[in-house]
Structure 1
């Protein structure tokens, strides 16, 4: 009926039905503990056998009744919301970060209060605390407002959350899109070469296993614009060497949009050349960059940024994605093409980068009619 599988230390339940498409459907159990995985797997099997659960559609009859009401406390509603979203579509990192903000918000307004005490003014008060930067306020808003809208959808509250606003304390908004110039990228790569060579000579790093891989990683990021988790999850089977298409997402890894995405690199020579190099040194099933820990990679990257570019403390791995987007726009690539390459859900996101460049509209329109 169903098989308990383990991949990269994570457990999955795989269901099979010859009449369904696809015939095999893998469900992430979101645990690394075998005993916990066995319990969850057994529950899913039982519900599937009783036609109470369909892994292909996500239908679960046992969740049809909402266990919270308009008289529930804020903490009770938060617990249910976080649990449900974690099971439905949140990735583990999303669940951790979002729940941290939501529970902080709950403590701020009083988690023992009735859910009906939740009002737009309280959200505004939490979001606009002076100790947080404007970018952090925006991040918090993206996590709290969906929760409030969900509460309204479930008839737990009835307020208009269109009044939720964040303010910048009458200060000019800081540039939150941090990116690297071509000169800074070369300086960073040279800094890595210099530091690693010195460490190998002193015996601090191994000649066969060292941080030289970061150079290829940086180039891949700047050309592909992929997110760090997407890049570290790449395997040889994700790259079709006949069509030169990179498939982002797999049964064991979900993209931000929860759907598999395609990146065509056939005409992108620097990226295609790098892909060939990486494939030559990678076995089937092995990770392309041979690293999977996102946090460790981020810390290592930051270490070399501080060494080579001490004045750019604002730079992180994600800045290389910004760098790719900025470079494409600056080179005159149409904004909708850039949106598709970056895989932004909305062109409005891409427009933020274009606005940052303060493009000369007159020159572009003039060249079109020349």
Structure 2
């Protein structure tokens, strides 16, 4: 996993620029994996070219799919080069995710050159319920023996992620001072230990299910400190993003869910429920804070009847006005 133990230590990456992250990745590939000099040289050329294409000093956390897509769509690239660059960037950002250098892998929003657009992976309500029951059953089976993180705290985290669409890092860092149960909103904002993906704060509405979960957790609080974390793990310790993903993946395997389901898929799950519930795409975009509607439109195929109904309503309304 790199140069530190994510289960015992705090993540040491508070904010690397793209250049710095590239250098750290190349050192890792060379020192830890022993790759050939030519392979390292190929990676260096691609990744340094990409670093040159984004604003100077850009924090790698703030790289999004648009940055990468624009780099791959350059007119001077042949198709074979586009595909090679895609694979190398995919490896780089995958490593950044494993090392908790980035909270969200921007490659998930990038279409592989020459490949058809792939729908976002998400859990259906039945799969989500099955996953939660699998966790409960596993804990009951082990009884009082707690090891390797088999504890019920992760159920609340999974539900909350699906109800709100918050990113992994946003949930791990969420403090009670950012939660306003009276208004039914929470604020996603940076703290001393965490930077939001865009660097901006945002107010997120709490649906009834999310609000009920938070009220239950509020009743269990023993402190009134607004800086206290909302979600904690074993022994009330703060959540480590890497460990959270690790445990989530473990339970997905126990539940026999598809291999490509990750903790980030819960964000897609939220989007899928909103779209299937006939929430307009632009509203889903605002809820999930997507950079463009192009990202959100990946979910449009989930509710084609909604799209048709909206078109029909628009035409019918216009025709009605003409007839009047």
What TM-score comes out, normalization by structure 1 length? 0.56
Paired residues of 1:199 and 1:205 also in contact (CA < 8 A)? no
Give the match for residue 32 of structure 2: none
CA deviation digits over 1:235-271, x for unaligned, max 9?
1111123323211113322211101111122xx2111
CA deviation digits over 1:206-260, x for unaligned, max 9?
9xx8521111111100110000000110111111233232111133222111011
CA deviation digits over 1:309-329, x for unaligned, max 9?
x24111000000001011101
2:83 aligns with one of 124, 128, 131 = 128
Q: Which has the higher contact order (CA 8 A, sep 6+)?
A: 2
Give the match for residue 345 of structure 1: 291
> Any idea what SS the aligned residue of 2:186 has?
strand
Give the match for residue 124 of structure 2: 181
Paired residues of 1:196 and 1:205 also in contact (CA < 8 A)? no
Give the match for residue 249 of structure 2: 302
Supply the distance in 2 between the matched residues of 1:138 and 1:329 (Cα, whole angstroms): 32
Q: In the alignment, is residue 200 of structure 1 matched against residue 143 of structure 2?
A: yes
Structure 2 unpaired stretches of 5+: 1-8, 30-38, 54-73, 95-110, 233-237, 318-324
Structure 1 unpaired stretches of 5+: 1-8, 11-30, 33-85, 141-164
Q: In the alignment, is residue 357 of structure 1 matched against residue 302 of structure 2?
A: yes
Q: 1:107 to 1:130 in 2, by over 3 A?
A: closer
Supply the distance in 2 between the matched residues of 1:250 and 1:341 (Cα, whole angstroms): 18
Q: In the alignment, is residue 219 of structure 1 matched against residue 159 of structure 2?
A: yes
> Any idea what SS the aligned residue of 1:286 has?
coil
Paired residues of 1:124 and 1:166 also in contact (CA < 8 A)? no
Supply the distance in 2 between the matched residues of 1:263 and 1:128 (Cα, whole angstroms): 37
- 1:286 shift after superposition: 2.4
Supply the distance in 2 between the matched residues of 1:99 and 1:278 (Cα, whole angstroms): 42
Whose strand proportion is higher, 1 or 2?
Answer: 1
Paired residues of 1:226 and 1:342 also in contact (CA < 8 A)? yes
Aligned length: 247
Give the match for residue 107 of structure 1: 41
Alignment RMSD, CA only? Answer: 3.9
Supply the distance in 2 between the matched residues of 1:358 and 1:229 (Cα, whole angstroms): 29
Supply the distance in 2 between the matched residues of 1:347 and 1:304 (Cα, whole angstroms): 32
Give the match for residue 335 of structure 1: 281
Give the match for residue 293 of structure 1: 240
Give the match for residue 102 of structure 2: none
- 1:357 shift after superposition: 2.4
- 1:124 shift after superposition: 6.3
Supply the distance in 1 between the matched residues of 2:270 and 2:119 (Cα, whole angstroms): 15
Paired residues of 2:275 and 2:303 also in contact (CA < 8 A)? no
Paired residues of 1:138 and 1:166 also in contact (CA < 8 A)? no
CA deviation digits over 1:86-128, x for unaligned, max 9?
9xxx8349777555678889721776xx99xx99757965542
1:228 aligns with one of 168, 172, 175 = 168
Paired residues of 1:222 and 1:323 also in contact (CA < 8 A)? yes
Supply the distance in 1 between the matched residues of 2:239 and 2:78 (Cα, whole angstroms): 37
Paired residues of 1:225 and 1:325 also in contact (CA < 8 A)? yes
Q: 1:352 to 1:91 in 2, by over 3 A?
A: farther
1:264 aligns with one of 205, 208, 212 = 205
Give the match for residue 91 of structure 1: 15
Q: 1:139 to 1:124 in 2, by over 3 A?
A: farther
Runs (4 or more) in structure 1 with deviation over 3 Å come to 90-106, 118-127, 130-133, 135-140, 360-364
Supply the distance in 2 between the matched residues of 1:293 and 1:131 (Cα, whole angstroms): 29
Supply the distance in 1 between the matched residues of 2:43 and 2:19 (Cα, whole angstroms): 21
Whose helix proportion is higher, 1 or 2?
Answer: 2
Q: 1:125 to 1:98 in 2, by over 3 A?
A: farther
Supply the distance in 2 between the matched residues of 1:179 and 1:277 (Cα, whole angstroms): 27
Paired residues of 1:137 and 1:166 also in contact (CA < 8 A)? no
